[in-house]
Amino acid sequence: MPISRSAKKALRQSKRRKVLNLKRKDTIRDIAKKIKRLAAEGKHEEAVKLLPEAYKALDKAAKKDTIKKNTASRKKSRIAKLASPQKKG
């Protein structure tokens, strides 16, 4: 357990940040799952409509340093690729 005042405050801050970071990551995970499920069912139009929501969550998480910028970029790219209808031929 922390002893000094600053260590106690640091512990409080880290607990608060952990909760927020987990919430942001859960949001990203949930939206990605929805898009993957819709794409698997062939509902690409609906999946594409969810893309702005996914981008917003990823950008916000990257801005707040929950995830790294390149990780957010990679996830956005992969989600967009999943959501778009595959070209045949």
**pLDDT tens digits in sequence order for the chain, 89 residues long:** 889 999 999 999 999 999 999 999 999 999 999 999 999 998 999 999 999 999 999 999 999 999 999 999 999 999 999 998 876 54
Measured CA to CA, the distance from residue 46 to residue 12 in angstroms comes to 41
Question: Is residue 25 in a domain?
Answer: no
Enclosing domain of residue 53: 43-89
Question: Is residue 11 in a domain?
Answer: no
Measured CA to CA, the distance from residue 15 to residue 26 in angstroms comes to 17
Question: Is residue 1 in a domain?
Answer: no
Question: Is residue 57 in a domain?
Answer: yes
What is the number of structural domains in the chain? 1
SS3 82: helix
- Global pTM reads 0.85
pLDDT confidence of residue 88 = 54
